[in-house]
């Protein structure tokens, strides 16, 4: 399993809860290459990929993943293309099996627990969140262009095993994101041909 000798020196950030119409959308599940998702230390083979549900089914507690011999779980999540990740949500149980700390690694395919001693791209201290109301923002500088994400659940709230019902990812497929930026950039430019009839005659005559 992962080495627990490395230090965690990142301070816990204040994470606001969101509800109602202000809830974030976690729609990146459609861009996950689900056939290639792997979960290490899951007690039931294939259970880990089932926590990547559409947002509307995140309250479904019939499907979940539980760790096997200790509290750690390691998810390897390939995408069908390059994505921009901006946040995530995790739902666990109301007891000590809920994840308490995660470590995120970008673009390191087929990670094993022995690889987890390297510096993570981001570490997050979690709240117990059985309803999925807490949004955890991801660093834009780290996750602006990602084709593979690894999520290590490094600690829970005290139980021997960890249980996860839902992991939601917020962001955009890079093609869609770049297309919107290109359109916005184009529309923000003043096109002279669109304003040729608005140029005062006085200014036009002064050019000759």
* Distances from the Cα of 84 to the Cα of 1, 19, 87, 90, 144, angstroms: 30, 23, 10, 18, 4
For 182, which DSSP code? H
Q: Is residue 200 part of a domain?
A: no
* Distances from the Cα of 151 to the Cα of 29, 88, 112, 126, 188, angstroms: 15, 11, 11, 13, 38
Element (H, E) at 205: helix 201-206
- Whether 127 and 73 have beta carbons less than 8 Å apart is answered as no
Q: Is residue 187 part of a domain?
A: no
Residues 124-158 pLDDT 10s: 999 999 999 999 999 999 999 999 999 999 999 99
pLDDT value of residue 143: 98
**Of 161, 24, 4, 39, residue with least CA distance to 86:** 24
pLDDT value of residue 101: 98
User: Which CATH number characterizes residue 131's domain?
Assistant: 2.60.120.470
- Whether 168 and 29 have beta carbons less than 8 Å apart is answered as yes
Q: Is residue 105 part of a domain?
A: yes
Q: Is residue 190 part of a domain?
A: no
Q: Is residue 180 part of a domain?
A: no
Distance CA 152, CA 171 (A): 20
Give the largest Cα separation in the chain, rounded. 85
How many CA atoms does the CB half-sphere of 50 hold within 13 Å?
Answer: 16
pTM: 0.76
Q: Is residue 11 part of a domain?
A: no
Q: Is residue 6 part of a domain?
A: no
- Give the residue ranges of the chain where pLDDT is below 70: 1-23, 176-208
Distance CA 38, CA 150 (A): 10
pLDDT value of residue 67: 98
Element (H, E) at 181: helix 174-188
User: What is the number of structural domains in the chain?
Assistant: 1
- Whether 95 and 165 have beta carbons less than 8 Å apart is answered as no
pLDDT value of residue 24: 87
Structural domain containing residue 63: 20-173
């Amino acid at each position: 399993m992962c080495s627990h000798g490395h230090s965690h020196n990142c301070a816990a950030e204040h994470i606001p809860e969101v509800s109602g119409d202000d809830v974030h959308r976690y729609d990146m599940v459609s861009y996950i290459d689900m056939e290639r998702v792997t979960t290490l230390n899951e007690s039931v083979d294939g259970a880990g990929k089932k926590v990547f549900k559409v947002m509307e089914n995140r309250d479904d507690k019939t499907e979940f993943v539980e760790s096997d011999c200790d509290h750690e779980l390691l998810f390897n999540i390939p995408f069908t293309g390059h994505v921009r990740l901006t946040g995530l949500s995790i739902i666990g149980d109301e007891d000590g099996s809920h994840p308490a700390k995660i470590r995120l690694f970008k673009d390191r395919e087929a990670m094993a627990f022995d690889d987890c001693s390297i510096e993570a791209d981001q570490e997050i201290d979690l709240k117990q969140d059985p309803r999925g109301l807490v949004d955890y923002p991801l660093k834009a500088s780290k996750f602006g262009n990602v084709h593979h994400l690894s999520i290590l659940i490094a600690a829970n709230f005290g139980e021997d095993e960890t249980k996860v019902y839902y992991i939601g990812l917020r962001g955009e497929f890079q093609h869609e994101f770049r297309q919107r930026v290109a359109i916005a950039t184009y529309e923000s430019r003043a096109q002279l041909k669109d304003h040729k009839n608005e140029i005062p005659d006085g200014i036009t005559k002064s050019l000759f």
